[in-house]
Amino acid sequence: MRQQKHILTIITFLITCCCILSCSHNKINNEEETIKRIPDTLIVGTLYSPTSYFLYKSDIMGYNYDLVMHLAKDKNIEIKFEVFRSLSSLLERLDSAQIDLAAYNTPITAEFNNRVTHCGIESITRQVLIQPTKKGEKLITDVTQLVGKEIYVEKGSKYESRLQNLNSELGGGIKIHAINRDTIMSEDLISMVANNEIPLTVVDNDIAQLDHTYYSNIDISLEISFPQRSSWSVKKGNEWLADSIDVWANTKEVQHYSKRLFNHYFTTSRNNKQIIINVKNLQRGIISKYDNFFKESAKGIGWDWKLLAAQGYVESNFNPLAVSWAGARGIMQLMPGTARHYGLDASNIEDPQSNIHAATKSIKDLNKSLSKYVEDEEERKKFIIAAYNSGIAHIYDAIALAKKYGKDPQIWDDNVCDALLMKRYPEYYNDEVCKYGYFGGKQTVKYVENVIKTYNLFSKYVH
């Protein structure tokens, strides 16, 4: 009898072990299956925006774009991107299974939870106060201090709604100025605070962080709203895909990569610190120690070499080791892709002579492309300089917008220049004549202005 009990105990133990091993094996298989079920080709939808997907020069950039491409590299899969003009159209295509993944921050709310399955790295945004930092003046550190203050926001925006609610909570006293959204947007208001044209504004913290890379004289630390969570999303019923992306996104390597990527796009300074031009050198007929390279290369494009030198100054302050936030390198700040196209690689992209020579090849090609749109050679130079900075695609869009909205498409100042600035606004970069989406524009407009101003200064002293 004891022997039978002993045998029964052993059998029970063995059955239990088998069950545990089987469950563990199934769990491992399920985890492996989850990881492996991302398809070989993933069709990804996103939106043009300063934080998600945009063209800069000849390169596609953006936080979400780079993160998706990192997924593709890790999983050895192909990505096909489709770019939409609104979140509603993006989610419609997701609903109809025409795309697999919406790589755009979809709010995690009851409304969207009923429609999509969220996945990937979660983003948390808050509305923050934009205020100037002035020596000797105290910053606003509490929302109660907003009583009696004037704050400018976009009319009909969530920022106006939040301020109205906050104003009620505080018993009134906040002076809210709602500005027509057709003529101004958040980044314009941030610029106006930085330039002391208005006292305060409110935007989401990711936009604030991005613009803070351009304006170091603003403070963005005071939060005035509850956090809003958002993430990528997939179609309801495709939870297996969401699980696969979640497994990938939750690895330490990807978490660290996303933080580095965030810092790259949202905290790296984009201010160009200009040095003072040495007028004594100019009086001796010297612009830089690379003058012979500029003279030699300018012959190939028929430009005054001083104009090419002015670009080199504005691009890098004649620093052959300069590297921009976007990865452009050398005196003429060539993007790696552009450099490769003109025969340069990592070994010689920073060589001054090679860098300047490759830049003139690029300028020659830009001139050829733009000659179909701008007849006057002198006027065309402004378009070429703009295209060198922004990429020719955005200049094509600006010409199309100028033509459509009654501006002269062959004149830069006050015409195509203004049309390029229109590409900051959704109603224009989503216009049917615009093919290449969002572009900030202000940096390029300022760039053209600075190059021409510098050229005029050089020409005053050097003949």
Residues taking part in catalysis: 315
**To 10 degrees, the CA torsion angle through 361, 364, 365, 371?**
180
Residue pair 48/11 in contact by the 8 Å Cβ criterion: no
- CB count, 10 Å around CB of 40? 8
- Hey, which residues does 323 pair with through a beta bridge? 329
Residue type for position 103: A
Question: Which segments of 207-365 are extended strands (E)?
Answer: 218-219, 228-235
Place of tokens 């012979």: 292
Q: CA–CA separation, 266 vs 57, rounded Å?
A: 19
Using the CB atoms, write b or e for 51-67: b if 16+ within 10 Å.
bbbbbbbebebbbbbbb
* Residue 307, burial from CB neighbour count under 10 angstroms (0-12, 13-18, 19+): buried
Determine the Cα–Cα distance for residues 458 and 282; give it in Å rounded to an integer.
7
Q: Which structure tokens are listed for 24?
A: 């563990």
**Quick one: angle between helices 377-390 and 392-404, nearest 10?**
120
Nearest to 356 by CA among 388, 380, 379, 391: 388
| Residue ranges of E strands in 186-287 | 201-204, 218-219, 228-235
Give DSSP secondary structure letters for 146-191: GTT-EEEEETTSHHHHHHHHHHHHTTS--EEEEEPTTT--HHHHHH
DSSP letter (8 states) at residue 50: T
For 188, 234, 249, the CA distances from 79, given in Å and listed in that order, are 34, 15, 17
For the chain, the first-to-last Cα distance in angstroms comes to 115
Q: How many CA atoms lie within 13 A of 274 on its CB side?
A: 13
Amino acid in the structure at residue 454: T
DSSP code of 139? P
The amino acid occupying position 190 is I
Report the 10 Å Cβ neighbour count for 454.
21
CB proximity list for 419: less than 8 A, separation 6 or greater:
398, 399, 401, 402, 405, 407
